[in-house]
Chains A and B, each alone.
Chain A
Amino acid sequence: MPLRLVLADDAALIRQALAELLQRAGVEVVAQAGNAPSLVRAVEDNHPDVAIIDIRMPPTQTREGIHAALEIRESFPAVGILLLSTHTQIDDAVELFSATASRVGYLLKDSVSDLDELIDALTRINEGGTVLDPKLVVELLTARRRTDPLHALTPREHEVLALMAQGQSNAWIAKTLWITHGAVEKHIKHIFAKLKIPTTTDIHRRVLAVITFLETR
């Protein structure tokens, strides 16, 4: 059965293009909305698998999307949430991830034009995962600190940390880096010990712990 989506973006041009792109990939766009209230109604009427929501929507063009997302999560917890942002805002991602548990993602609009990346994100969210745009992770990882705890990591551990921050599962990390599942677990154990991050196996809590650490290190 194809993924069923609701799309919310006040820019009709983007909404239309995104819908065409998704339909090309066999995803069913069941409804579109240009503002937060009509988005919530569309979710209520259609119960989609995932709602794709632009963060900036009328009337203030600031964080309407986040508020709508949290409202949907409250009333329809089964609906996955993918927030789209025109620019990297770590605080938005942290707010979203702190207020929700899994089935949630944060992507830059720029990344959405890559269909593979978009479909991968939607699939992972629909399967209960957490998705954070790799560009945000790169920005967090490359922030300079005078005494940087990240210096204690090996290059391989650094790669594993980046993938964890994006919300990737251990199995996926093993596959991507061509290492065994056991090796991934060993790396993660070392990373958590070196950075003194509280250990958790829950992917969503792990993303939140890692990005909170990276932001405040």
Chain B
Amino acid sequence: MSHVARPGGPCRCRLHPSGGGASRSVRRPPGDNEGVIARPELPENAETLFRAVAAVADALYVVDAAGRTTFLNPAALKILGYADEDELLGRVSHETIHYRRPDGSPFPAAECPLLRPRLTGETVHLDLDWFVRKDTTQVAVSYSSAPVDLADGRGAVVAFRDISDRLRVRELEASRARIAQAADDARRRIERDLHDGAQQQFVAVAMRLENARRLLAAAPDEAARLLQAAHADLREAIAELQRLAHGIHPAELSERGLISALRTLARRAATPVDVTATDVGRLHPAVETTAYYIAAEATANAVKHAHAHQIEITLARTPQALQLTITDDGTGGAAVSAGTGLQGLHDRADALGGHITLLSPAGGPTVLTADLPVPGPHTER
């Protein structure tokens, strides 16, 4: 028989080397005495075809009628994290690389879309699925699985692609869209607060002043009473503006830094908050702002949703990162899910290259940890 040229160097696809019909027997892997793993042979025409495809495709493997891997190329080995094809050849592929879902639950073979081509003859394409790598981590893949006639019946050929990078890009795009949306929502809220709050109060004051002006000559006592009321209203409006401004960005955060701002947050909280902080110095404004809003949101959630009696904020610094932890003794059960403030914080941390970890079993306690990379000392502001 004639072999087609082997694809690039490292391909060690051990297809049966001999020619003709002699290749029907079942060969055992070298060193494997009592054949736990039996590797069926491929018909010669299939072998030729797969070798040709393997030279161009990203990653490819073939399963026989019994679902056992009979062929895989170097790209497939690499994505799956194996060094040697012998670790996979002859083993049932679903039980080796596809037995677990990303949430950790088992993936029953009966529900496996990859097996359908073998059973029904259809071709299956999936944009997102997860394979289990040798080290048991999972890798996001897209694949096409098509039926193929092998000597012992219908098998399937699976071409797949590692889409981790694409997923990461997709997640970043989604996160960026959510950040933009959150900023739009915040602007709308500020507009509404200004309009319904401060502006109304200022209008009322203006009307009182006008009224007082008209009464000044005829009824000075009444005018004085109105002026006094206008003065009181105005002070209330100023306080309202201050609360609003503080909500948009607390001045002490930029003026005195994170610890000072966190202490003020603690002082004004409706529940006792302890702040424990090593002197983290001044950090990049984006890090300080993100850390502050994470603490503010976690504290607000602890009070509002978890009904906590005690909240602890700790702040520590490593050379590379700022670690912020908010612990509360409330009812727990918090989750980072769409539309929550936590999702927004998660996105913000993500945008800085950091991350948020949330542990919140039902019944509590809730521990939220944020790790934010610190680009280096920030002195000039």
Residues of A within 8 A of B (CB): 60, 62-63, 86-92, 110, 113, 139-140, 143-146, 215
Please give, as numbers and ranges, the residues of chain B lying within 8 Å of A113 by CB-CB distance: 231, 234-235
Residues of B within 8 A of A (CB): 231, 234-235, 238-239, 242, 245-246, 251-252, 254-256, 260, 263-264, 266-274, 309-310, 381
User: How many angstroms from the CA of A146 to the CA of B274 in the assembled complex?
Assistant: 9
Inter-subunit contact B267/A110 (CB<8 Å)? no
- Closest beta carbon of chain A to B262's beta carbon, Å: 12
Inter-subunit contact A87/B272 (CB<8 Å)? no
Interface centre among B267, B271, B272 (most CB of A within 10 A): B267
Inter-subunit contact A110/B235 (CB<8 Å)? yes
Please give, as numbers and ranges, the residues of chain A lying within 8 Å of B272 by CB-CB distance: 144-146
The 6 closest A-B pairs by CB, nearest first: A143-B267, A146-B272, A144-B272, A62-B255, A91-B260, A145-B272
Inter-subunit contact A143/B231 (CB<8 Å)? no
Inter-subunit contact B255/A140 (CB<8 Å)? no
Please give, as numbers and ranges, the residues of chain A lying within 8 Å of B242 by CB-CB distance: 86-87, 110
Please give, as numbers and ranges, the residues of chain A lying within 8 Å of B231 by CB-CB distance: 113
Given contacts A60-B381, A146-B309, contact A139 B254 (CB under 8 A): no
User: How many angstroms from the CA of A110 to the CA of B245 in the assembled complex?
Assistant: 15
Residue contacts A-B, CB under 8 angstroms, 20 given: A62-B254, A63-B255, A86-B242, A87-B246, A88-B264, A89-B251, A89-B252, A89-B255, A89-B256, A91-B256, A92-B256, A113-B231, A139-B267, A139-B268, A143-B266, A144-B269, A144-B271, A144-B273, A145-B272, A146-B274
- Closest beta carbon of chain B to A53's beta carbon, Å: 16
Inter-subunit contact B255/A110 (CB<8 Å)? no
User: How many angstroms from the CA of A215 to the CA of B268 in the assembled complex?
Assistant: 12
Inter-subunit contact B252/A110 (CB<8 Å)? no
User: How many angstroms from the CA of A144 to the CA of B267 in the assembled complex?
Assistant: 7
Inter-subunit contact A146/B254 (CB<8 Å)? no
Please give, as numbers and ranges, the residues of chain A lying within 8 Å of B263 by CB-CB distance: 90-91, 215
User: How many angstroms from the CA of A90 to the CA of B260 in the assembled complex?
Assistant: 9
Q: Taking CB as reference atom, which chain A residue is nearest B269? A: A144
Please give, as numbers and ranges, the residues of chain A lying within 8 Å of B273 by CB-CB distance: 144
Q: Taking CB as reference atom, which chain A residue is nearest B245? A: A87
Given contacts A89-B255, A89-B256, A113-B235, contact A146 B246 (CB under 8 A): no
Please give, as numbers and ranges, the residues of chain B lying within 8 Å of A89 by CB-CB distance: 251-252, 255-256, 264
Q: Taking CB as reference atom, which chain B residue is nearest A216? A: B263
Inter-subunit contact B264/A146 (CB<8 Å)? no
Inter-subunit contact B252/A140 (CB<8 Å)? no
Please give, as numbers and ranges, the residues of chain A lying within 8 Å of B251 by CB-CB distance: 86-87, 89
User: How many angstroms from the CA of A208 to the CA of B173 in the assembled complex?
Assistant: 52
Please give, as numbers and ranges, the residues of chain A lying within 8 Å of B268 by CB-CB distance: 139, 143
Q: Taking CB as reference atom, which chain B residue is nearest A63? A: B255
- Closest beta carbon of chain B to A157's beta carbon, Å: 21
Interface centre among B252, B271, B274 (most CB of A within 10 A): B252
Please give, as numbers and ranges, the residues of chain B lying within 8 Å of A62 by CB-CB distance: 254-255, 381
Please give, as numbers and ranges, the residues of chain A lying within 8 Å of B267 by CB-CB distance: 90, 139-140, 143, 215
Q: Taking CB as reference atom, which chain B residue is nearest A55? A: B255
User: How many angstroms from the CA of A2 to the CA of B254 in the assembled complex?
Assistant: 39
Please give, as numbers and ranges, the residues of chain A lying within 8 Å of B381 by CB-CB distance: 60, 62
Please give, as numbers and ranges, the residues of chain B lying within 8 Å of A140 by CB-CB distance: 267
User: How many angstroms from the CA of A110 to the CA of B238 in the assembled complex?
Assistant: 7
Inter-subunit contact B310/A146 (CB<8 Å)? yes
Please give, as numbers and ranges, the residues of chain B lying within 8 Å of A90 by CB-CB distance: 263-264, 267
User: How many angstroms from the CA of A176 to the CA of B57 in the assembled complex?
Assistant: 89
User: How many angstroms from the CA of A139 to the CA of B267 in the assembled complex?
Assistant: 7
- Closest beta carbon of chain B to A33's beta carbon, Å: 21
- Closest beta carbon of chain A to B149's beta carbon, Å: 74
Interface centre among A88, A92, A215 (most CB of B within 10 A): A88
Known contacts A113-B231, A146-B274; 18 further A-B pairs (Cβ under 8 A): A60-B381, A87-B251, A89-B251, A89-B264, A91-B252, A91-B256, A91-B260, A91-B263, A110-B235, A110-B239, A110-B242, A113-B235, A139-B268, A143-B266, A144-B270, A144-B273, A146-B310, A215-B263
User: How many angstroms from the CA of A146 to the CA of B238 in the assembled complex?
Assistant: 32
- Closest beta carbon of chain A to B228's beta carbon, Å: 11
Please give, as numbers and ranges, the residues of chain B lying within 8 Å of A139 by CB-CB distance: 267-268
Q: Taking CB as reference atom, which chain B residue is nearest A143? A: B267
User: How many angstroms from the CA of A109 to the CA of B16 in the assembled complex?
Assistant: 89
User: How many angstroms from the CA of A143 to the CA of B267 in the assembled complex?
Assistant: 5
User: How many angstroms from the CA of A144 to the CA of B269 in the assembled complex?
Assistant: 7
Interface centre among B239, B260, B264 (most CB of A within 10 A): B264
Q: Taking CB as reference atom, which chain A residue is nearest B273? A: A144
Please give, as numbers and ranges, the residues of chain A lying within 8 Å of B264 by CB-CB distance: 88-90
User: How many angstroms from the CA of A110 to the CA of B234 in the assembled complex?
Assistant: 10
User: How many angstroms from the CA of A145 to the CA of B312 in the assembled complex?
Assistant: 11
- Closest beta carbon of chain B to A143's beta carbon, Å: 4
Q: Taking CB as reference atom, which chain A residue is nearest B239? A: A110
Please give, as numbers and ranges, the residues of chain B lying within 8 Å of A92 by CB-CB distance: 256
Please give, as numbers and ranges, the residues of chain A lying within 8 Å of B254 by CB-CB distance: 62
Q: Taking CB as reference atom, which chain A residue is nearest B254? A: A62
Please give, as numbers and ranges, the residues of chain B lying within 8 Å of A88 by CB-CB distance: 264
- Closest beta carbon of chain B to A76's beta carbon, Å: 26
User: How many angstroms from the CA of A144 to the CA of B311 in the assembled complex?
Assistant: 11
Please give, as numbers and ranges, the residues of chain B lying within 8 Å of A144 by CB-CB distance: 269-273
Please give, as numbers and ranges, the residues of chain B lying within 8 Å of A60 by CB-CB distance: 381
Please give, as numbers and ranges, the residues of chain A lying within 8 Å of B269 by CB-CB distance: 144
